[in-house]
Structure 1
Amino acid sequence: MYRITYWLLYGHYCYSLVLGTLHFRYDFNNNKAYITPFITYYTAVMNVLALTTLPWTYYTAVCTFLQKERVGRPVLYIFIAVKTLRLLAVALVIVYNWQRRRDILKFIRDINHLRCVYFARFPVPFEWQRRFEMKIIKNMLSGVVVDALRLIIVLGVYKNHMNASFVISNVLFSLISNILYLNMSHYYFFMQTIILFGNVLNRQLADIIKSAKSVTRLRDHQRCRKQYKARCLTLSRELDEVALVHIQLQSLALRINDILKW
């Protein structure tokens, strides 16, 4: 992993902790996730603050929008609908993530266990690793840039109606809305990791098929019968292992879809 990718992931992790999106700590050195009392209490307080702040940010935004001249009804309805749906989505994500926090923790432990037990034996090609990291970097930076641009545009459009409560409410709205972005980023990262593992598994299966073709040449040689049987047993065990890991990857993909579906 490139150093820049590591620091971006670490910054993303710290940002998620500060906003209360993650309900556990992660040790990057030992690749272990665990729950601490401080994190539990902190995330609970942050989630409650976010939920209680939502009505105020909504009210301030609508009142400021109504102060702008020449606001038509269609524009007003669209603004209120978008604002309402976004805040309801944030509230839903906060409540649902809190209920599934132990499921997420178990998922992380299971995928780390599978990586250490099986995939650690097979090096990931440089091109695959680079493509994986570029997708993660683009996903993380795009969310930050889009939200920053949205905040700048709003402040620019309403500069004549700007006051302290308006600025604070919009900053808080951007921070709270980032819960949605962070949640989607976590889902994207997990799915890209599963896809990367799936590609490694496909390459391993291709190697087994290639080895099986070469083993068939030993079948017709009397002197190579023992070697033929030994190679067949080895390939059979490797194929069973690939099938088992494939089932586990499918299970992980279904689980993360269920955990972060909202």
Structure 2
Amino acid sequence: MFDPVKVILRLVYFYSRLLGVLNFEIDFRTGRSRITRRASIYAAVANVIIFSQLILLSNSELMHTMWLKAGVLHEYLYLVIHTTRLSCVTATLLSRWWQRPHLIELINALSRLAFRRPEVTRMWRFRVAIKCLSILFSEVFQVILTLVVFQSVMTIYMAVSILMLYMLTALVNVIISHIYFINVNVYCHYCLLNQDLRAVLVAARSLEAEPGLRITRMSRCFTLTEQLEDIARTQSQLQNLLQCSSRIFGIQSLCVSAILYISVMATIYFTIVGFNVTKAFPSWKYVNMLLFCETVFYFADVLITMDNLYIVLDVHGEMLNLLQQFSTLAPSLDSRFEMAITYWFRELRNELRIELMSSCELIRKQ
């Protein structure tokens, strides 16, 4: 059966391999990652080619035109955006090499969790689809807008330079998509754990209300305790994986945050300038329409990315609220069951930290 989301994920994977962002292979049948000589050699060659392109772009006709023509704020701002993007791409590609073993361990751990709960693959379809669409439309309109703005001084070599520039800066979106997909996986597993926790809570309340033999009650309490402990172990693994992801993508998160900040400020400024220019030059109305579309899709992509961070904190808080409801149960169910709830709730009340830029953190406190 055709699954468009699986096709999207495979395209992202092969595109990441093509650009040299991934320097290892992933087996689609098992979901396991491994280092191979073929993947390492190709990624090294791809990175060398990309770095060579960065040097060529710095001396290209496009950059010379931009530097020579730059005389007002928005033109310098345009240069700052692309310089920042290219610098961040360089730092990210280098960091992928020394973080490779940790990244492989992280992916393999998520694959093991997904193998245990295959229904998780159906839960993140919508979020993967909207993320890919927002990236696609944002980049398409950005490329078209650049080509239209430079059409008066456009040459074949400049057009090639522009397309090359956006192919390189597309690496940023690939990097963001990797972080995004890991957080989506953690979020969906949290949702499944909350469903399991609700089921345990319902079963415990029904057991509390039903009279029965002590042996039967103890047997059912033992089963519920095992389920609760299994949920607690999986939640601890997810929290460790999330913190491991924050450490692995530390430098990359710093780069992405810098790009997002500069791009958001520049987008707001370009939008204001675009409307003012349109008033003076009606022929620029098509540029303004492209700028409006690019702005809408760009901010949609930013909101989708940021929401992906906060939803993990939300489901963590939901789990805390569910555990609080266990305190309303009768204290005579089972001592082991009560100890498991008390211990897990005490551990879960610790802060959940999602580190951004190594120093900036999103924190869930109870």
Q: TM-score, normalised by structure 1?
A: 0.88
Aligned position for 1:206? 198
Q: State the alpha-carbon separation in 1 of the partners of residues 145 and 187 from structure 2.
A: 36
- Return the alpha-carbon distance in structure 1 between the equivalents of residues 249 and 68 of structure 2: 38
User: Mean Cα displacement is larger for which, 155-164 or 250-259?
Assistant: 155-164
Give how far 1:181 is off. Answer: 0.5
Q: Deviations over 1:83-133 (max 9, x none)?
A: 22111111111111122112111111111112223x24xx56xxx936x21
The answer as to whether partners of 1:56 and 1:169 remain within 8 angstroms in 2 is no
Letter in 1 for 2:130: K
Residues 20 and 44 of structure 1 are in contact (CA less than 8 Å); yes or no, is this contact kept in structure 2? yes
1:42 Cα deviation from its structure 2 partner? 0.5
Please name the residue that 1:147 is paired with. Answer: 139
Q: Which ranges of structure 1 fall in alignment gaps of 5 or more residues?
A: none
Aligned residue number for residue 255 of structure 1: 244
1:41-60 matches, within 5 Å, as: 41-60=41-60
Measure how far apart 1:67 and its partner are: 5.3
Amino acid at match of 1:78: L
The whole-number CA distance in structure 2 between the counterparts of 1:189 and 1:9 is 10
Moved over 4 A (4+): none
Contact 1:25/1:36, CA 8 A, preserved across alignment: yes
Match for residue 79 of structure 2? 80
Cα distance per residue 1:226-256 (max 9 Å; x no partner): 1011011111111111111110010111111
Point out the more displaced range, 72-81 or 104-113: 72-81
The root-mean-square deviation of aligned C-alpha atoms, in Å, is 2.0
Percent of residue pairs identical: 24
CA contact (8 A) 2:66 2:79 kept: no
Aligned pair partner of 2:230 in 223, 227, 241: 241
Post-superposition shift, 1:54? 1.2
Q: What SS does structure 1 have at the residue aligned with 2:14? A: helix
Structure 2 alignment gaps of length 5 or more: 253-366
Indicate the residue corresponding to 2:215 in structure 1. 226
Q: 1 CA distance for matches of 2:199 and 2:189?
A: 15
My pick for the range that moved more, 53-62 or 150-159, is 53-62
SS in 2 for 1:23: coil
Which residue in 2 is equivalent to 1:129? 122
Aligned pairs for 1:36-185 within 5 A: 36-60=36-60, 61-66=62-67, 68=69, 71-117=70-116, 119-120=117-118, 123=119, 129=122, 132-185=124-177
**1:67–1:161 CA contact under 8 A, matched in 2:** no
